[in-house]
Amino acid sequence: MGQFIRFCSRFAILGQPPSVNAVGSDIYSLWRASTISIEVIDELCHIQTINVDSTTGYFGLIATGGYISSVTYASLTDQAEGVDNFYFGSVDPVPEPATMLLFGTGLAALAGNRIRRKKK
């Protein structure tokens, strides 16, 4: 989308393509630091809300329940805000079982090392 959008209370982006499960954008406060609430609704009607301090400059979110159907930005301080450089894309989820297997293997190695030290 690539255009700068200013808003004072809220605005929504609706109807993303069916393969989009990640969203991000630059965020600005036009007067002073503020908090912007970003609400993402996915195809299964799961709602994810994140509050972002405008001084961080960027936010990104991956939908947990499927593809994104709408994104709503709202100013919690009722002042002029802005967003720019939108990103909508598809991100593959991290395979959680592999992470747990790696963590478990590391713990087993630490335990084995400790047992070997006690035997000496």
The predicted-structure confidence for 40-62, as pLDDT tens digits, reads as follows 888 788 888 888 887 777 888 88
The domains located in the chain, with CATH, are 5-93 (2.60.120.260)
In degrees, rounded to 5, the angle at the alpha carbon of residue 97 between the alpha carbons of residues 24 and 65 is: 40
> Which position has the higher pLDDT, 102 or 65?
102
Mean pLDDT, the chain, integer: 78
List the structure tokens of 69: 């159907």
Do 49 and 37 contact (CB within 8 A), yes or no? yes
pLDDT of residue 105 exceeding 70: yes
Residue 54 DSSP code: G
For position 3, what pLDDT does the model report? 53
CA–CA separation, 5 vs 74, rounded Å?
12
72 in Cβ contact with 11 (< 8 Å): yes
pLDDT at 76 over 70: yes
The one-letter amino acid code at 69 reads S
* Prediction pTM value: 0.62
Phi, psi of 55 (to 5 degrees): -75, -15
Residue 1 has pLDDT above 50, yes or no: no
Query: Residue 102: enclosing H or E segment and its boundaries?
Result: helix 96-119
Contact 41, 70 (CB under 8 A): yes
Q: What is the pLDDT of residue 17?
A: 65
Model pLDDT, residue 37: 82
The tens digit of pLDDT for each residue in 2-38 reads: 455 655 666 677 766 677 888 888 887 777 777 888 8
Instruction: With beta carbons less than 8 A apart as the criterion, state whether 31 and 50 touch.
Output: no
